[in-house]
Structure formats: C-alpha cells, structure tokens
Chain A
Amino acid sequence: MPTLAIEGLTTRFSTRGGTVTPVDGVSLSILPGQILGLVGESGSGKSLTGYSIMGLIDPPGRIESGSIRLNGRELSGLPPEEMRKIRGNRIAMIFQDPMMTLNPVLRIDTQMIESVLAHQDVSHGQARALCRDALERVGIASPDERLLSYPHQFSGGMRQRVAIAIALLNKPDLIICDEPTTALDVTIQGQILYEMQKLCAETGAALIWITHDLSVIAGLADTVAVMYAGKIVESGTAQQVLGQPRHPYAHALIASAPSRNPRGQPLKQIPGMTPSLINLPSGCPFRERCEHATDACRQVPPVQSGAGRTLRCFHPVGTAPEARV
C-alpha cells in the first residue's frame, strides 16, 4: 500500500482579484522508502501541494475536492484536532528557510522536546534523549552541548540539520521537504542530500522533495512529477521523465539546462514567461509557450497514463504527427 495516495486534489484561493486554483486536480502516490521529486517553477503550485497535504491551507484558500490518503486513512475533511495529531507526527515538513522554522528566542532543546511531548507519552528525560539521538543521526557533533544553543549560534547548514532532526523525532511515515537546500551552498547541499538519502533508506520514510532544480532531483528521486500552473503535466520514474521527457514543457526545461547545450552557444530557451494564475489561457496552460501547440490545445488535455507514467498533452514529444493521440 502506498504511504501517500492523492487523487484529484484541488486547492482554490478566492481573492478580490478573482479565484485562482494553484493546485488543480493533482494525483500522486508514493511508496514507503521512496523519494518523489516534485518539480516546478515559482507559482506552479508545488509548495501549495505540500501545504495541502499537511492541512496548512488557511482562508481565503481551501481544499475544494480530492482525497489525501495516508496509509489508507483519509485526511481531507478531518477535524482540526485530528489533523493536529497527524501533523508533525505521521507527516513532517521541512521548509526552505530554517531561520523561519526555528523560534529564534527558544533554545534548541526547548523546541525539540516540545515536539516530542506533543505526540509521545514519554518523560521529559526520555524526550531529551530522543532529541539527542536525532541530532546525532543528522550529523551534528557534540549533540549534548548543541541542544543548549540558540538557533542564531548555528550556521545555515546546521540549522537545516536541526530542522531535519525535528522532522525525524516522531519517526514520521512521510516527510515533505520544500526546497530545503535552495538557500545552502553547494558543498553543504551535498552534505544534506547525503544525509536525507541515508535517513530515508534507514527509516523507510517516504519523502516528497519539492524543488525547482532538476539536477538535485536527478540524483535523488525514484519518481518525478513536473508541475506547471497547478497541474501535474508529466510524472513517472526519474529515468522516464528526465531521460525521455514527453511533455513539451518538461522536454524544453531539460533541454534549456546549460549542461545540455554546447558551451558558449545560445541555450535552447522557452519563450514567454510563466502565466499568472489569475488569467491562465484556456485549455492547456502551456500552449502559448509551446512550439507543438495546435487548436486542439484549447481544450484541457486529459491525463493519459500507461507504463507507470502519466502525461497531460495532446502532442507529446517523440511521437510522429500522424501517431498523435
């Protein structure tokens, strides 16, 4: 059974400027111990997908429809008290900026012990021991002393390690990482990726890794889903999506990477810019930037699935025109 199965998740925000749908019919599933890479540009709805799973959507936003099942249990529509028992316990989230997730005026031990005691029936001393072990597991030297430090006494990479340690405290089934290495340096990013890979294999937790950086995903993920303007346009194994992308957006995104282009020559670029969610073009949201677009694209392309991958496109890359579905 998958750890997490999402079907047709739709999240809407009603604002004065109009109604926007940053998450539009998203379906995902992830098995225990697997890493799913959720890729998209800013505004594609990848972070809000994560927030929707966590039940962190505040008004004016709300989850319109769809089901979110964690180990078979339906989460959407759960009363807030029930959701609270799951959040931070069965599902944990790691955010981009660890300075925002850690409380600057509380010591690390206060913050960590609090999250243990919120979900587990243990003594204060036992909770402290759990925190100590968690810090050690993410590679923090002399954890006993570090427990007594304040967040500002840590470097950016160390803070992110603390955030990861907090996420691991209650041995969650699912960890959602929202761009956790974007603010870090390359060598520190390498360290965090190494830790996460190791921890996932050890604990059997499923991991959703949200990022805009395809190259991070390439070395890390088992499966990849590419989002554009609120919809998953292509998903499949990392091999399939990154090796032979079929959606024109995924294909163009990978082709525009400097490493895929001869040095010093102009890069293959995607024309135009990411559309505003307020006035999306009708039909396929990518059609105005797409070189394969035809009149058919004025309709919303249905999800085609097969061989473990899904695709939302009338004219996938790599099919002869007459063979187009």
Chain B
Amino acid sequence: MTAPVATAGVPPILELQAVSKRFTKPLDTVDRISNVLGAGLREEVVHAVDGVSLAIQPGEVVGLVGESGCGKSTLGRMAVGLHSLSAGRRLWKGVDIAPGASQRSRRDRLAIQMIFQDPYASINPRMRVRDIVGEAPVAHGLVPAREQDAYVEQLLRQVGLDASAMRRFPHQFSGGQRARIGIARALAVKPEFLVCDEAVAALDVSIQAQVLNLFIALRNQLQLTYLFISHDLGVVRHLSDRVVIMYLGRVVESAPADTIFSGPNHPYTQALLQSEPKLEVGKRVFIPVKGEIPSPLRPPAGCHFHPRCPKAMAHCATERPALREVAPGHSSACHLNGGG
C-alpha cells in the first residue's frame, strides 16, 4: 500500500526487542520415576520464537510470512499480549509494557486487538451478535450500557453487515459474515493496532476479496496499523508495506514488499517464492525445494535452513547467521552475504 510510513523521529507504535517464547513440556510422574532409575530424561523445550526483533511504525502494514510451525502465530500472540515473553521486551509507543496491570497498560492493551483465523471457533456460539461485539466496550467503560445497541449497529454497518444481525446468533451467518463479526468485535474497543492471524485463510475465494477490501478500507478510515500474518504470499504482497519472513522461530529476511518479491535475498525466501503457485496461464515445471520442515523440538544447528538449502556451505551447519542489513531497510540472515 502507499503508506504514510512514519519518519525517523516517531517511535515505533509497537516494538518487540529480541523476544523469545519457549514452551516446556514438564516431566510427568512416570518420567521422574524413570529418572530415579537412571533413564536420564529431560524436559522438552520448543523454541517457538527465538530472539525476534520487530519494530512496526504507525500506519504501517507488516506482513508476517512463514510455513506452519515457524512461530508466526506465536509471535502474533506475543505482540497482542496473549502469550507472555520468555525473554525480550515489548514496547508500546516507546514504553515498556510488562504484565502488571497499571491503568495505563490496561488502556494500552485495549489498543492492540487480534483477529483470529477460524471464524467458527473464535466466536462464542451462545452469544448474540450485540453481546459479542458490544460486551467489551461496555465492560471497559468506552460506551455507556444504554448506548450499546446504537454503538454496535454503527460498527456492524462499518464492516458491511445489516443492523438486523444484532439479535442473531453466530450459526445464522456464513463464514464471510462471521469474519466480519470478528472484525467488528476487534474494532469495538477502538484499537490502533490489529494483529490479523490468517484472517482470510478459511474463507472462499470470492469472499476473500471482500474481506481483504474491508481491511484496506478500514485501514484508510481509522488509520490502523496491521500485523498481517499469513502463509499466502499473494495476499501479503497485496496488503503489506513490509514483509517479514520467518523460518523455525527466527526471522530470516525482512524488507519492503516490493523488494522482497522482486529481489529476495535469503535462499529460503527464494524457495518460497518459487514454490508459490501463480495464476499464470501455461503449464510450468514445478521445481521443488528438497526436504521437510524440521521439528522445532530439535532444530538443525547453525542456520535452521541449511539441510534444505541449495547453497549451503560448511559453516552454515555450525554458525548461526545474524540478521544483517544488505540494503537500506532490507535485512537478511544468511552467510552468503559475507561478514563475520
């Protein structure tokens, strides 16, 4: 999008500094007894997100791309505050928001909202739309209870639903309409920042375009900032100002959208773009990337991508490449770019 990307003086609206998320599977009783007998079992740790730094400017749309298990949803949930951080810092407009409920941080947390992937599972089936959308703003004192109906009605209109939807239950809506309800619910607490986790992936093709258009329109109306998580490169290319590519918990490349699609630097990004099916007429020969995505329980040493990388060198297997700037605004974590 033609973006009002902020100038250097303004602090990022949301900044994640070297954040990590580890999930630990503790030993159960049987394992502990086996250990007494000398089994030597240890807790299993998944590094879902491993030292990721991300700064998002006000008004920017950042696309976060990766395959399943790469930690993109976990990172999104950390950005919203649904997951605590195992390490690192999370700054909102330059101020650290640690979990500790001062009035200020409560308001700040409302300003970051999330739209979930599954329009069926993310809405309470036993609540009416007026409560799904209207409960939070009333509870947080943004809207007096007697104005709830009028407020919900206005939100529904904004997302393209009829006011008569208010009295209905979620099962009376189609997938596309439910996605709109999810969006209205997120907008109800007047957020400045939206994390959209695969928000259109569950929708039919002809409905996808409608919801994407709604995202574009809302961004322009309400000056929203988006972190748009998706595995669909076509969608990300269309919406994003900047694209961040993740692989097994780490950022491998980050660049303005045009740059990443015209001149990808990291071999993984190149492989991803090559595998992407394109709507071009004419048969093509598919050139597959070899290998599977490794388990995040036991990621390969060094560069996580090296077992699948066509350009892997000896020290890729031992040394973790740092995320380095290869051009202004374009950074990539690959040993091919040289440096120590």
Contact = CB atoms under 8 A, between A and B. Distances in A.
Interface residues of B, number: 47
A143 to B, nearest CB: 16
B138 interface: no
Interface stretch (A8-16, A21-29, A184-192): A184-192
8 smallest beta-carbon distances between A and B, as pairs: A190-B275, A264-B1, A258-B238, A256-B209, A191-B288, A185-B67, A194-B286, A215-B277
A273 interface: yes
29 contacts: A41-B204, A42-B204, A185-B293, A186-B231, A186-B233, A187-B288, A187-B289, A187-B293, A190-B286, A190-B289, A191-B286, A191-B290, A193-B286, A194-B286, A197-B286, A214-B205, A215-B234, A218-B277, A218-B282, A220-B283, A238-B282, A253-B205, A256-B209, A259-B238, A259-B278, A261-B238, A266-B213, A267-B209, A273-B174
A219 B278 contact: yes
Given A263-B237, A264-B2, 8 more contacts: A187-B271, A188-B293, A191-B288, A214-B279, A238-B281, A238-B282, A273-B177, A274-B206
Given A268-B209, A273-B174, A189 B234 contact: no
Most chain B Cβ neighbours within 10 Å, of A189, A259, A260: A259
A267 B176 contact: no
A264 B204 contact: no
Interface of A: 41-42, 155, 157-158, 185-191, 193-194, 197, 212-216, 218-220, 222, 238-239, 242-243, 252-254, 256-261, 263-271, 273-274
A70 B174 CA distance: 38
A274 B203 CA distance: 11
Contact of B68 (A185, A193, A256): A185
Nearest to B289: A187
B18 interface: no
B275 A189 contact: yes
Given A186-B272, A215-B278, A218-B277, A259 B234 contact: yes
Contact of A155 (B209, B281, B292): B292
B209 A187 contact: no
A185 B238 CA distance: 20
B13 to A, nearest CB: 19
A264 B216 contact: yes
B1 A263 contact: yes
B255 interface: no
Nearest to A218: B279
A219 B1 CA distance: 28
A200 to B, nearest CB: 12
A263 B238 contact: yes
A242 B277 CA distance: 14
B160 to A, nearest CB: 10
Contacts of A243: 281
Contacts of B204: 41-42, 212, 274
A219 B234 contact: no
B166 interface: no
B210 interface: yes
Nearest to B290: A191
Contact of A258 (B1, B210, B237, B281): B237
Contacts of A238: 281-283
B1 to A, nearest CB: 3
Nearest to A195: B288
B237 A259 contact: yes
Contacts of A252: 206
Interface of B: 1-2, 67-68, 174, 176-177, 204-210, 212-213, 216-217, 231, 233-235, 237-239, 257, 271-272, 274-290, 292-293
Contacts of A271: 210
A229 to B, nearest CB: 12
A208 to B, nearest CB: 17
B279 A41 contact: no
Contacts of A197: 285-286
B278 A242 contact: no
Contacts of A193: 277, 286, 288
A187 B213 CA distance: 28
A284 B318 CA distance: 63
B287 A194 contact: yes
Contacts of B207: 273-274
B196 to A, nearest CB: 15
Nearest to A196: B286
B65 to A, nearest CB: 9
Nearest to B174: A273
A41 to B, nearest CB: 4
Contacts of B174: 273-274
Nearest to A213: B277
Contacts of A264: 1-2, 216, 238-239
A186 B238 contact: no
Contacts of A268: 209
Most chain B Cβ neighbours within 10 Å, of A242, A258, A261: A258
A31 B280 CA distance: 23
Contact of B213 (A41, A158, A267): A267
B206 A41 contact: yes
A261 to B, nearest CB: 7
A185 B231 contact: yes
A220 B277 CA distance: 9
A168 B238 CA distance: 39
A7 B208 CA distance: 33
A41 B239 CA distance: 23
Contacts of B2: 264
Contact of A267 (B212, B275, B278, B292): B212
Nearest to B275: A190
A158 B290 CA distance: 13
Nearest to B233: A186
Given A41-B204, A214-B205, A219-B283, A186 B276 contact: yes
B229 to A, nearest CB: 14
